[in-house]
Amino acid sequence: MSLPLTPPQGRASIPAMGRLVFVLLLAYGLGCLSAGYYLARWKGLDLRAAGSGSTGARNAGRLLGKGAFALTFGLDVLKGAAAVLIARHLVPGPWAPTLAWLLVVLGHIWPVQLAFKGGRGVSPAVGGLLATSPLLAGLLFVPLLLGWGLARSFKRGGMLAILVGPFLAWFLRRPLGMNGQDCLAFTLLALLLVATHLKTLQTETSPM
């Protein structure tokens, strides 16, 4: 009588672990694709050496116009959403999309091919939030518009939304469709985004 051949536990877990590593590397790689930087290079300009030095949508819009802002913002939001959705599709369990959300933002802020000089992280964070909880993303328009109304600055309104967001996520996570990992990731991202904007928050008052 022959016994059924069962692969060792370690080998059985290799495919899942391999998919996780692939997804996380892909998320970071997507983050590194700085749309504003490559759009500006196509026009003969290096965003890292002009304006605020950021490769994000605000600096691209300031130097290249509103069309560049819209295109850069849209593509950066898209890569954030794509990282989360790809992770959710390829790797079962709650942690892969959460980690992908974090890594796509880290890649955007610190892209390896640009000597770790990228954007400030808002656009891919918004994209990841849209893929994680569209309802929470919609609710955050309230503090965004409130901050803009009080300070006449979308950037300050955005900072208010970022600060309020984690509290809403933790207290309303079940109705919002978020789990504990998502709330933790959003909290860490909120702290990171505030940190990346601290140097410019006092001086930049133009629309976001």
Distance CA 134, CA 83 (A): 15
In the predicted model, is pLDDT for residue 12 greater than 50? no
Residue 149 confidence (pLDDT): 76
Give the mean pLDDT of 83-90.
96
Structure confidence by residue, pLDDT tens digits, 130-148? 999 999 999 998 888 887 7
Report the mean per-residue pLDDT for the chain.
86
pLDDT band at 13 (very low <50, low <70, confident <90, very high): low
Give the mean pLDDT of 49-69.
92
Structure confidence by residue, pLDDT tens digits, 182-193? 999 999 999 999
Distance CA 112, CA 60 (A): 20
The residue written with tokens 């504003």 in the block is: 36
The two tokens of residue 149 are 């109304």
Structure confidence by residue, pLDDT tens digits, 18-36? 899 999 999 999 999 999 9
Distance CA 118, CA 110 (A): 5
Name which residue leads in pLDDT, 54 or 200: 54
Angle subtended by helix axes 66-90 and 14-32, to nearest 10: 180
Residue 176 confidence (pLDDT): 84
What percentage of the chain exceeds 70 in pLDDT?
A: 87
Distance CA 127, CA 188 (A): 16
The one-letter amino acid code at 146 reads L
Domain definitions of the chain by residue range: 19-201
74-78, 153-157, 161-165: which has the minimum mean pLDDT? 153-157
Q: What is the DSSP string of 131-197?
A: HH-HHHHHHTHHHHHHHHHHHS-HHHHHHHHHHHHHHHHHHTHHHHT--HHHHHHHHHHHHHHHHHH
Q: End-to-end distance of the chain based on CA atoms, in angstroms?
A: 72
pLDDT band at 159 (very low <50, low <70, confident <90, very high): confident
pLDDT band at 158 (very low <50, low <70, confident <90, very high): confident
Residue 93 confidence (pLDDT): 84
